[in-house]
């Protein structure tokens, strides 16, 4: 990978000079790159990552994403741990061995909105989707972040490590623009769970049980709160339950109560088990996660009605981000959000 | 169970909803199973696209045991899988492999098969069945009949499937293809039959439809007003190898033209279907095949060329001529090369020739579709004393260097106006760095989903045979000597003349 480095004090450099700096950097990078002559890396989007500092996990994620979705990766580091004059820039150009994307990393000093228009907007690839991935685990400053929405089509959150995921979502919903797409990587990570649950009830013998669902129990690490909540939101929106978070007053469409229980398991890495219990004795559907494999079994009075398995999404935030870029707006996600907000699902309705 | 009934299924991607199934591979001892089917099953399992409850049964002559079959398949997967073998997944797949040694015509073998299938249905919930005929075509009617007699052709309930997958060649000519269709239809309705042409499983071939119908700019130009001609080339540098005996009974027209080339032609020439659904797409393809001007004996003389390779040099090494290959008679008249000029008699394509060529032991391995546009109507630059401006060419490269390129003229920087042809390229390999699935993975998956878009329909097969049978009959009637070409060349001189007579030339590949 060819890496070029510049330092600049954006307070003293005029905006048009920054634009020509980007052009020079890009050209220089292209000249020095070992990329095959004549080959063109097709570009599909710009992904802007907002993080406090570069980490190994982020680097792995970018490498993965750049292969799946060649484009331009822009990383903004707001707390790089070193004293930067104003902006330190590293620019790398793809080569066939390394990645499919150009990468621009910037360590910035001072408020983000000061730098956004000058430094980031000129780098968004015209006419292609621009994503903003908020890689901070903690609650972001939404009022500051709102100034970043210009030029962005879609925001990607990750509530995996948020202490209060619902606060994050409340903040986003309050501050985002209606036309802005949104994803939560924790929702993306529920995809295999939703797939396998759906597979269980594709079977005629199991589908008949859904009307007798009486309880949902989940087990996982404390950090699985967000993932388990999204699963409940999905179930609630698909099955038209009444109620919402914190899920202790749920009821089916015919007003039967549905109990919910989350059991913390310190040994689990994330969500490790989901069990649906039915009113018929000894009848359940259980999904367990072991070594990145989900296994589902539906049993009634000791007799197995159905079993299947499915791999989970691989660990590594890059896989989830890549999936978010694949999916874009997911109508099921919109339904889940509306259900959480107390609205009935509009299955054909507009984006949440 | 349909999406409407399971509220949890709505909106989810369908790739993970394959129901538990048993796949029975007739002829499992052959090359196709080792090289293609077993690796495809393995890679589908790696991607989590197969249900936990599955069984794969090899049904073939011989006294192979379950254990030997598992070992043989594991070896084959190790050799031919596009990805390295994960031992845990291989172990899981191996545990699903079983073998029944039986002649295809032995009812006892089918009885054993039925008992095994019933047991798996009870114990594993594997209620769905795919019968894959990886056998010589002569065995298809026998196997179908025995499956019917043993009741295995009928699903045990309405929400379960039974499907039959058959490989090409599907018949030898129109009559045999129709007879084979009739024989299969006596046991399996058409919607249960999946006729494979592995070219349709290639990403680049599927991209033809996407390219044409997901982009608005090309369709207005996709007709006789703007297109001068189309060239379709499927060239192989290899010879017949150890398959001389089989190949000599077929020849390039049966082996390649009837299926792969006509499939490519129909994808290029078809009208937009009303939906991306199996029957809508296939109906449009059938219309194209039926619109191709049929060969009269005279057309065979003027618009068709065949050839047979002689010794030469391929990939730097001297190679034998066709008649010296193992299993090939020394007086064989089987063609290893075909070049055709076809006309599609419809409103869109009237007057636009489609030049097709295919052959073994050609200069290089290459499959592509080249759409050459009309030249500019007015020589705007003639005062500049420049050579003729080259026409635009849109090339869809099927393999290798999979991608698409557009040739157009650009001004060479400098004080004078000089125009040079340049290429605008899209390469799969650099745009999508992810390795695409093999054709058989896609086709098996679609078969298990019941999506027949990438499989040929009975009328499609028959229409293609009608055209090729007329060609073969014309050659048989004429009984001319078969032109020869040196291995490593681009075919017989007669093929050059075929296109040059029209003032055009074959693309230099």
Q: What is the mean pLDDT of residues B217-229?
A: 96
The C-alpha atoms of residue B435 and residue B82 are separated, in whole angstroms, by 9
**Per-residue pLDDT tens over the stretch A39-87:** 445 567 899 998 888 888 888 898 888 877 878 888 888 876 666 666 6
Chain B environment of A204 (Cβ under 8 Å): 1, 159
The C-alpha atoms of residue B242 and residue B249 are separated, in whole angstroms, by 14
Whether residues A309 and B431 touch (CB distance < 8 A) is answered with no
Q: Which of A198, A204, A309 sits opposite B9 (nearest CB)?
A: A198
Q: What is the CA radius of gyration of chain B?
A: 25
- Mention every residue, 6+ apart, whose C-beta is less than 8 A from residue B71: none
Q: How far is CA B444 from the centre of its chain?
A: 14
The C-alpha atoms of residue B350 and residue B379 are separated, in whole angstroms, by 25
Using the CB atoms, write b or e for A218-237: b if 16+ within 10 Å: bbbbebbbbbbbbbbbbbbb
**pTM (predicted TM-score):** 0.77
Whether residues A347 and B433 touch (CB distance < 8 A) is answered with no
Quote the minimal CA–CA distance from A156 to chain B in Å.
Answer: 20
Q: What is the mean pLDDT of residues B143-149?
A: 96
**DSSP state at residue A292:** T
Chain B environment of A202 (Cβ under 8 Å): 1, 6, 9, 17, 19
Look at residue B4 and tell me whether its pLDDT is greater than 80: no
Whether residues A41 and B430 touch (CB distance < 8 A) is answered with yes
Instruction: Using a CB–CB cutoff of 8 Å, tell me whether A297 touches chain B.
Output: no
pLDDT confidence band for B487 (50 / 70 / 90): very high
Whether residues A210 and B5 touch (CB distance < 8 A) is answered with no
Reference A264, options A272, A256, A252; nearest CA is A272
Q: Which residue of A has its CA nearest to B12?
A: A195
Whether residues A202 and B6 touch (CB distance < 8 A) is answered with yes
The C-alpha atoms of residue B80 and residue A69 are separated, in whole angstroms, by 28
Look at residue A93 and tell me whether its pLDDT is greater than 70: no
Q: What is the pLDDT of residue A18?
A: 67
CA distances from B347 to B123, B273, B294, B344 (A): 58, 16, 17, 9
Chain A environment of B19 (Cβ under 8 Å): 202-203
pLDDT confidence band for A15 (50 / 70 / 90): low
Chain A environment of B7 (Cβ under 8 Å): 210, 238-239
pLDDT confidence band for A346 (50 / 70 / 90): very low
Chain A environment of B8 (Cβ under 8 Å): 194, 197-198, 201, 210, 235, 238-239
Most confidently predicted of B82-86, B159-163, B450-454, B461-465: B461-465
Check if the beta carbon of residue A226 is closer than 8 Å to that of residue A162.
yes
Is residue B86 reached through a cis peptide bond, with omega within 30 degrees of 0 on the bond before it?
no
Taking residue B189's Cβ as centre, other Cβ atoms within 10 Å add up to 9
Q: What is the 3-state secondary structure (H, E, C) of B88-142?
A: HHHHHHHCCEEEEECCCCCHHHHHHHHHHHHHHHHHHCCCEEEEEECCCHHHHHH
The C-alpha atoms of residue A22 and residue A4 are separated, in whole angstroms, by 11
Q: What is the CA radius of gyration of chain A?
A: 23
Residue whose tokens read 């065949």: B306
Concatenated DSSP letters for A50-101? EESS--HHHHHHHHHHHHHS-EEEEEEES--SS--SSEEEEEEE--TTT-SS
pLDDT confidence band for A3 (50 / 70 / 90): low
The C-alpha atoms of residue A273 and residue A278 are separated, in whole angstroms, by 16
Q: Which of B12, B159, B431 sits opposite A194 (nearest CB)?
A: B12
Quote the minimal CA–CA distance from A319 to chain B in Å.
Answer: 13
**Per-residue pLDDT tens over the stretch A267-313:** 988 899 999 999 988 899 999 998 888 899 999 998 888 888 887 87
Chain A environment of B1 (Cβ under 8 Å): 201-204, 207
Check if the beta carbon of residue B18 is closer than 8 Å to that of residue B54.
no
Q: Is B434 exposed, middle or buried (0-12, 13-18, 19+ CB in 10 A)?
A: exposed
Q: What is the pLDDT of residue A4?
A: 64
Helix or strand run (H / E) with residue B441: helix B439-449
Reference B292, options B251, B255, B258; nearest CA is B258
Quote the minimal CA–CA distance from A217 to chain B in Å.
Answer: 18
The C-alpha atoms of residue B2 and residue A344 are separated, in whole angstroms, by 23
Q: Which residue of A has its CA nearest to B92?
A: A309
pLDDT, mean over chain A = 80
Instruction: Using a CB–CB cutoff of 8 Å, tell me whether B431 touches chain A.
Output: yes
pLDDT confidence band for B69 (50 / 70 / 90): very high
**Per-residue pLDDT tens over the stretch A99-115:** 567 788 888 777 777 77
Quote the minimal CA–CA distance from A222 to chain B in Å.
Answer: 26
Q: What is the pLDDT of residue B387?
A: 65
DSSP bridge partners of B36? none
Give the least confident one: A24-33, A321-330, B295-304, B356-365: A24-33
pLDDT confidence band for A139 (50 / 70 / 90): low
The C-alpha atoms of residue A304 and residue B125 are separated, in whole angstroms, by 9
Using the CB atoms, write b or e for B9-39: b if 16+ within 10 Å: bebbeeebbbbbbbbbbbbbbbebbbebbbb
Q: What is the pLDDT of residue B434?
A: 62
Residue whose tokens read 């499992």: B28
- Mention every residue, 6+ apart, whose C-beta is less than 8 A from residue B152: B110, B113, B114, B117, B129, B131, B162
Instruction: Using a CB–CB cutoff of 8 Å, tell me whether A107 touches chain B.
Output: no
Concatenated DSSP letters for A168-199? HHHHHHHHS-TT-EEEEHHHHHTHHHHHHHHH
Q: Which of B8, B10, B430 sits opposite A40 (nearest CB)?
A: B430
Instruction: Using a CB–CB cutoff of 8 Å, tell me whether B12 touches chain A.
Output: yes
DSSP bridge partners of B409? B421
The C-alpha atoms of residue A157 and residue B285 are separated, in whole angstroms, by 46
Q: Which of A41, A195, A239 sits opposite B12 (nearest CB)?
A: A195
Q: Which residue of A has its CA nearest to B1?
A: A202
Q: What is the pLDDT of residue A116?
A: 81
Using the CB atoms, write b or e for A49-81: b if 16+ within 10 Å: bbbeebeeebeebbbbbbbbbbbbbbbbbbebe
Token code pair at residue A212: 């007798």
Helix, strand, or coil (residue B366): strand
Residues of B recognised as catalytic: 260
Q: How far is CA B21 from the centre of its chain?
A: 25
Is residue A246 reached through a cis peptide bond, with omega within 30 degrees of 0 on the bond before it?
yes
Instruction: Using a CB–CB cutoff of 8 Å, tell me whether A295 touches chain B.
Output: yes
Q: What is the pLDDT of residue B16?
A: 60
Helix, strand, or coil (residue B338): strand
Q: What is the pLDDT of residue A95?
A: 52
Percent of chain B past pLDDT 70, that is, above it, reads: 95
pLDDT confidence band for B426 (50 / 70 / 90): confident
pLDDT, mean over chain B = 90
Chain A environment of B13 (Cβ under 8 Å): 195
CA distances from B267 to B199, B211, B224, B272, B403 (A): 12, 11, 16, 10, 16
Look at residue A37 and tell me whether its pLDDT is greater than 50: no
Q: What is the mean pLDDT of residues A199-211?
A: 86
pLDDT confidence band for A344 (50 / 70 / 90): low
**Per-residue pLDDT tens over the stretch B316-352:** 789 999 999 999 999 999 999 999 999 999 999 999 9
Check if the beta carbon of residue B440 is closer than 8 Å to that of residue B447.
no
Quote the minimal CA–CA distance from A263 to chain B in Å.
Answer: 24
Whether residues A310 and B48 touch (CB distance < 8 A) is answered with yes
Check if the beta carbon of residue B58 is closer than 8 Å to that of residue B98.
yes
Check if the beta carbon of residue B99 is closer than 8 Å to that of residue B57.
yes
The C-alpha atoms of residue A306 and residue A297 are separated, in whole angstroms, by 6
**Which of the residues B2, B4, B9 would you substitute to probe the A interface, choosing the one with the greatest number of A C-beta atoms within 10 Å?**
B9
Helix or strand run (H / E) with residue B209: helix B203-213
Beta strands in B363-447 (DSSP E): 366-373, 393-399, 403-411, 419-427
- Mention every residue, 6+ apart, whose C-beta is less than 8 A from residue B324: B311, B330
Look at residue B126 and tell me whether its pLDDT is greater than 80: no
Is residue B400 reached through a cis peptide bond, with omega within 30 degrees of 0 on the bond before it?
yes
- Mention every residue, 6+ apart, whose C-beta is less than 8 A from residue B245: B326, B327, B328
Q: What is the mean pLDDT of residues B422-450?
A: 82
Look at residue A351 and tell me whether its pLDDT is greater than 50: no
Instruction: Using a CB–CB cutoff of 8 Å, tell me whether B87 touches chain A.
Output: no
């Amino acid at each position: 990978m060819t890496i070029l480095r510049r330092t600049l004090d954006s307070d003293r450099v005029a905006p048009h000079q920054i634009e020509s700096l980007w052009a020079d950097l890009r050209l220089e990078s292209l000249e020095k790159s070992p990329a095959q002559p004549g080959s063109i890396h097709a570009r599909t989007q710009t992904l802007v990552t907002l993080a406090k500092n570069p980490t190994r996990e982020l680097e792995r994620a970018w490498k993965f994403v750049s292969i799946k979705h060649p484009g331009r990766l822009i990383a903004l580091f707001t707390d790089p741990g070193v004293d930067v004059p104003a902006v330190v820039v590293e620019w790398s150009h793809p080569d066939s061995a390394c990645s499919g994307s150009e990468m621009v990393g910037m360590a910035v000093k001072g408020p983000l909105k000061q730098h956004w228009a000058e430094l980031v907007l000129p780098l968004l690839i015209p006419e292609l989707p621009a994503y903003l991935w908020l890689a901070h685990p903690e609650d972001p400053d939404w009022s500051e972040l709102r100034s970043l929405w210009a030029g962005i089509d879609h925001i990607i959150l990750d509530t995996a490590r948020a202490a209060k995921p619902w606060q994050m979502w409340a903040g986003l919903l309050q501050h985002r623009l209606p036309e802005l797409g949104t994803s939560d990587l924790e929702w993306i990570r529920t995809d295999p769970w939703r797939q396998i649950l759906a597979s269980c009830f594709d079977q005629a013998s199991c589908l008949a049980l859904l009307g007798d669902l009486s309880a949902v129990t989940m087990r996982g690490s404390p950090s699985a709160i967000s993932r388990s909540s999204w699963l409940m939101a999905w179930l609630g929106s698909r099955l038209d339950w009444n109620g919402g978070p914190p899920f202790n007053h749920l009821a089916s469409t015919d007003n039967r109560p549905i109990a919910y229980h989350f059991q913390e398991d310190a040994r689990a890495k994330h969500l490790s088990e989901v069990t649906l219990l039915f009113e018929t004795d000894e009848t359940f559907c259980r999904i367990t996660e072991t070594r990145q494999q989900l296994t589902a079994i539906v049993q009634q009075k000791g007799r197995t009605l159905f079993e299947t398995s499915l791999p989970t999404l691989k660990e590594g935030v890059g896989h989830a981000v890549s999936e978010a870029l694949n999916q874009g707006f997911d109508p099921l996600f919109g339904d889940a959000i509306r259900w959480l907000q107390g609205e009935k699902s509009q299955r054909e309705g507009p984006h949440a | 169970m349909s999406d409407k009934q399971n509220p949890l299924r709505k909106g989810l991607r369908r790739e993970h909803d394959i129901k538990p199934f048993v796949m029975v591979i007739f002829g499992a001892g052959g090359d196709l199973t080792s090289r293609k089917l077993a690796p495809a099953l393995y890679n589908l399992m790696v991607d989590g696209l197969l249900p936990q409850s599955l069984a794969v049964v090899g049904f073939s002559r011989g006294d192979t045991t379950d254990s030997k079959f598992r070992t043989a398949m594991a070896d084959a997967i190790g050799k031919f899988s596009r990805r390295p073998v994960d031992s845990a997944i291989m172990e899981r797949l191996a545990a699903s492999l079983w073998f029944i040694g039986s002649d295809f015509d032995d009812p006892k073998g089918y009885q054993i098969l039925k008992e095994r299938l019933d047991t798996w249905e009870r114990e594993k919930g594997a209620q769905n069945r795919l019968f894959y005929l990886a056998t010589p075509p002569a065995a298809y009617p026998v196997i179908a009949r025995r499956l019917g007699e043993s009741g295995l052709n009928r699903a045990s309930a309405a929400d379960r499937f039974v499907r039959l997958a058959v490989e090409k060649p599907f018949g030898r000519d129109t009559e045999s293809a129709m007879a084979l269709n009739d024989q299969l239809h006596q046991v399996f309705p058409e919607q249960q039959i999946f006729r494979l042409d592995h070219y349709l499983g290639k990403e680049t071939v599927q991209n033809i439809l996407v390219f044409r119908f997901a982009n608005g700019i090309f369709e207005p130009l996709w007709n006789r007003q703007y297109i001068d001609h189309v060239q379709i080339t499927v060239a192989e540098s290899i010879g017949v190898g150890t398959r001389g005996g089989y190949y000599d009974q077929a020849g390039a027209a049966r082996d390649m033209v009837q299926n792969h080339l006509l499939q490519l032609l129909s994808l290029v020439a078809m009208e937009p279907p009303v939906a991306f659904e199996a029957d809508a797409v296939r109906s449009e393809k059938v219309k194209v095949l039926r619109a191709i001007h049929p060969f009269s004996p005279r057309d065979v003389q003027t618009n068709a060329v065949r050839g047979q390779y002689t010794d030469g040099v391929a990939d730097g090494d001297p190679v034998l001529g066709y008649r010296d290959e193992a299993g090939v008679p020394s007086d064989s008249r089987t063609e290893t090369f075909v070049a055709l000029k076809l006309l599609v008699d419809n409103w869109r394509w009237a007057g636009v020739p489609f030049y097709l060529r295919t052959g073994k032991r050609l200069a290089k391995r290459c499959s592509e579709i080249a759409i050459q546009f009309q030249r500019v109507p007015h020589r705007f630059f003639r005062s500049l004393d420049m050579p003729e401006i080259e026409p635009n060419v849109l090339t869809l490269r099927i393999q290798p260097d999979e991608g698409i390129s557009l040739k157009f003229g650009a001004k060479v920087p400098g004080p004078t106006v000089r125009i040079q042809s340049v290429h605008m390229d899209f390469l799969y390999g650099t745009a999508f760095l992810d390795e695409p699935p093999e054709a058989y993975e896609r086709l098996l998956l679609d078969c298990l989903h019941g999506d027949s878009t990438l499989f040929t329909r009975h009328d499609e097969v028959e229409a293609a045979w009608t055209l090729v049978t007329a060609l073969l009959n014309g050659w048989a009637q004429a009984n001319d000597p078969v032109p020869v070409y040196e291995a490593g060349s681009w075919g017989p001189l007669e093929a050059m003349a075929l296109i040059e007579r029209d003032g055009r030339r074959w693309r230099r590949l």
